A and B are shown apart, each in its own frame.
Chain A
């Protein structure tokens, strides 16, 4: 299940970041510092959301274990 999740996330991230890249000018390795540093905020929110969703999945698994025991 984790595998599916990771691949889905990777595909999404590449799709979005390719959209965000500018098509003109020289490519520089400072994507995280461009556009008023909004990417930093996006990264922070993504980590928070991923952690919360992972937490939800783990709670779900614990409940499933309890259900199987009963």
Chain B
């Protein structure tokens, strides 16, 4: 099948129900998208599908044919993504960093749709787990990016 990832159509030869996560990591070699739980609990595998944050670990590849898939590797291709990354650096958000690809993409999707989010908007959008507990810095960075 063909998947459009980061603006490029890619031919992949996988079982149609292979989770998008593993297509991205193993077929396309893009390892910035992380495997954490495999059951859509943690959000480490978050990618954007047509701009929507999507847990790629439970998303069958066949379901996203014909969509625009964006991974962390190209997050800085948009103005919003650049602002989010700069805010992440300025606020020194990551610790171990393993969940942060998903956090950055979740924030990018939030701000793309809601440039000035309320606290409640942030609560609803920023639900990925972080075992290092960087939640306060994540919130501060989302705020800063929305004001940048």
Task: Please determine whether chains A and B interact with each other in the same assembly.
Answer: no
- Residues of B at under 8 Å CB distance from A? none
- Residues of A at under 8 Å CB distance from B? none
